[in-house]
Amino acid sequence: MSQTDKQFNGFLRVIIRDLKEAIEETDPEKKQNKLAALLNDLQTTLED
């Protein structure tokens, strides 16, 4: 199924928000966990 521009923009906003949260995280372990979760979500999206 194809995405509309609005759906794709919403998807990008979620990724940007998660990356900003990871960048702002000061605890290295929490930062790593946030980035790993984002990577997992992106990989899952590709496989759907």
In the 3-class helix/strand/coil scheme, how is 1-48 assigned residue by residue? CCCCHHHHHHHHHHHHHHHHHHHHCCCHHHHHHHHHHHHHHHHHHHHC
Range of the structural domain that residue 29 is part of: 5-47
When divided into structural domains, the chain yields a total of 1
- pTM listed for this prediction: 0.79
pLDDT for 1-48, tens place per residue? 577 889 989 999 999 999 999 999 999 999 999 999 999 999 998 888
Identify the pLDDT of residue 2. 72
Q: What's the CA angle centered on 18, arms 17 and 24, to 5 degrees?
A: 90
Hey, what's the torsion of the CAs at 14, 17, 20, 24, to 10 degrees? Answer: -130
